[in-house]
Amino acid sequence: MHVLKRDGHKEPVHFDKITKRIEMLCHGLDLNYVDPSAIALRVITNLYSGVTTVELDNLAAKTAMHMNSQHPDYEILAARIAISNLHKETKKVFSEVIDHLYCAKNPVTNQRLPLISNKYYNIVQSNADKLNSAIIYDRDFKYSYTTFKMLESYLLTLNGKIVERPQHMLMRVAVAIHEEDVDKAIETYNLMSQQYFIHSIQTIETACNVKQQMANSFLLTMAGDSIDGILDSLERTAVLFHYNGEIGFNVHCIRAKNTPIRGTGGVSNGLVPMLKAYDTSLGTVSRRVSKNGNVAATCYHSQPLAIYLEPWHADIYEFLDLKRSIGEEQLRARDMYYALWMPDLFMKRLFDNATWSLMCPHECPGLVDAYGDEFENLYTRYEKEGRYRKQVKAKDLWDLIIQIQLDSSIRGKVPYIIYKDHCNRKSNHQHLGTIKCSGFSPEIVQYSSSDEIAVCNTASIAVNMFVNSTKKAFDFCKLKEVVKIVTYNLDKMIDKNFYPLHEAKVSSHKHRSIGIGIQGLADAFILMRYPFDSKEANKLNVQIFETLYYGALEASCEIAIEKGSHESYEGSPVSRGILQYDMWNVKPTDLWDWDTLKAKIAKHGIRNSLLIAQRSNEFMAQMLECSTSVQPYTNNIYTMSTLSVNFRVVKSRLLRDLMKRGLLNENMYKRIIRNNGSIQNIEDIPEDLKLLYRQAREMPQKLIFDMAVARGPFIDQSQCLNISTENLPEKLGSVHFFAWKAGLKSSMYENEI
């Protein structure tokens, strides 16, 4: 039996060489548990003659990962083998890799097809020595095996072969943001490579590309209720899809079915045929497959487009049916997501078990552009005038919404519910006009119009990185420092970004909105030894978001001193001394000097109209090797696929805590797996660990919303909330009602049963 070496020559397979290769990567691991020869033996038994060295390494990595049940160090070893394999297959020097990508050619026509723009190629080559020497390749080995396997889909390739290492990718992102400011680029690179923060998927994928479209979220308002407006909006959406944007799109203004059309003498077909046409057309331009042929990083099984509608629209029932798996195919548009832009009046009518009237926006003008008292007065006036198409019980419509959510087996529970009046009353964009929708997911809330496509660049900070676990202390000063760096980065990206549409560029430059959020809150609590439902945890939750908001405002004010406020600053709530927490009638803690900051803002303004948006993003959490967003652990185990076998793995943080107590053994591991990750009924585990490692479904879900309300005053856009509750109508309904009553801008985004 022989192996095919990287240089092309054949060599007999040697057990000792395989073992030695694995042993070289075991430094610092617990060799009382990790056995390189056991891995080598399993590898040998699965080999075939002519196997390549690359395949041999991949097999060894998968084998080590499969042995993770014996000790968590096996996962570290699996990652080291896989990453070492990549290093052997790629060039080391960053500037040479950039040169290789810049000189890329079409393999068929041999024409130049550069993946790197001329501008960034010249920047890298002009600063090659400094950039090359700044990269620390050992940091690649910090990534877990699961993170590395995910990353393989995003590292740049040529002719199907990966040519980029993770550290190259991060430096590429840093250079894209800071260009000739090499010192700042290196600062950003170091923080990202040490996993303090990460930018969005779109930023990572397109940084330094010929078309550098780094923004991730776009919000569209229909260009008008006409054939021209409908087709123009379709074209805009298709262009943004082509450039990998996530889109929130409102259709409140489209006239209802059977509304007369004066120009043609016919009647409107309503929302369904239009959205069906959008669904079919957009599938031809959506970039849902990664460079390596895998499912794209966003992991969408459908298009990253959420359609928003207010529940008074006469086509609401047909709209709710669009994603259902049953019914006539011509009345379904299943590849898009759907959301309700819910006014307070509907929730009040629901509470009072009152009647709800369905109307056509063409026959009842102004409803789309109003909120709060103005909306309620206009709506009730139209009711008195008999302009409604139909009247139903608010509870009957609500019950249908809940039932459709319960039937939803896809990502999240559609239709999503976002609260129109809370979004408008608590926004720094309220002076611009009525906000009509959120983004693809509900954390992005901005003003948009037919002339302005709202844009948002986002980043996430790993808050677990600021915990000193020895002293059980949280470093708020360091967090603020990193928040300010991220703010500067995102603001710079507004000017460096390629905008596929003029309306997007206008909005982005005018309002300069950004969205900073966190990942790893549950990990931070565990490192501080705070149970998720403790008073200490909630206080830390609040002060983390206070620090986020304070640091971002301070940085934005500093940028404004140098470059001026954003164009739409005058008349905004912030220009009148009203910050987000003032809109909630909440006072911050004494952690930061808000009075001094307010005075500074009053004098100089801010550069960015919106700053904080809390995403629930598994890609960002995985890149930062921490728990997702602000939610508790959904499960203490996760599923891995190696050697064509799916198996479940216990999270390493829990394993290491069990090891410290002398409780980790094969039997304990299997008991946790059998209990589907729960440790609550395992007698040998102490109560303090049971409290720390409660899974989301083992907590009262009101706790999730209470913590969301507590941090809400420091989130000037919105936040994604994931819960774990039973699939019961009364449970789901109470969740939405509580969120509205508590003043949250959006309700549940995903539900883990």
Share of residues in the chain with pLDDT > 90 (%): 77
Looking at residue 71, its pLDDT comes to 85
pLDDT the model gives residue 5: 81
Q: Look at residue 260 and give its three-state secondary structure.
A: strand
Partners of 652 in the β-ladder:
none
Is the pLDDT assigned to residue 189 strictly greater than 90? Answer: yes
Instruction: Report the pLDDT averaged over residues 592-599.
Output: 98
Nearest-10 crossing angle of helices 535-563, 594-604: 20
Give residue-wise pLDDT tens across range 548-579: 999 999 999 999 999 999 999 999 999 999 99
Tell how strand 51-52 and strand 2-4 pair up.
parallel
In this prediction, residues 433-456 reach a mean pLDDT of 96
| Cα-Cα-Cα-Cα dihedral sign, residues 63, 65, 69, 71 | positive
pTM for the structure as a whole: 0.94
pLDDT at 412 over 60: no
The pLDDT, as a whole number, for residue 298 is: 38
Q: Which helix (H) or strand (E) holds 646?
A: strand 645-650
Q: Which two tokens stand for residue 299?
A: 């992991």
Query: Which comes out higher in pLDDT, residue 295 or 403?
Result: 403
Q: What is the pLDDT of residue 726?
A: 74
Q: Residue 287 pLDDT > 80, yes or no? A: no
Is pLDDT of 666 > 90? Answer: no
- The tokens 């300010």 sit on which residue? 484
How large is the average pLDDT for residues 278-297? 59
If you write DSSP's letter for every residue of 120-170 in order, what string do you get?
A: HHHHHHHTHHHHHHH--GGGGGGS-HHHHHHHTTTS-EETTEE---HHHHH
Q: How many CB atoms lie within 10 A of CB 618?
A: 15
| Beta-bridge mates of residue 454 | 219
CA angle 538, 544, 549 (to 5 degrees): 130
Rounded distance, CA 558 to CA 551, Å? 11
614 SS3 class: strand
- Per-residue pLDDT band for 639 (boundaries 50, 70, 90) equals confident
**SS3 category, 419:** strand
Mean pLDDT of the region 3-7 = 78
Among 321, 318, 388, 399, which Cα is nearest to 359's?
388
Residue 596 to residue 730: CA distance in whole angstroms: 47
pLDDT of residue 703: 93
Q: In sequence order, which residues have a C-beta less than 8 Å from that of residue 96 and are 6 or more positions away?
A: none
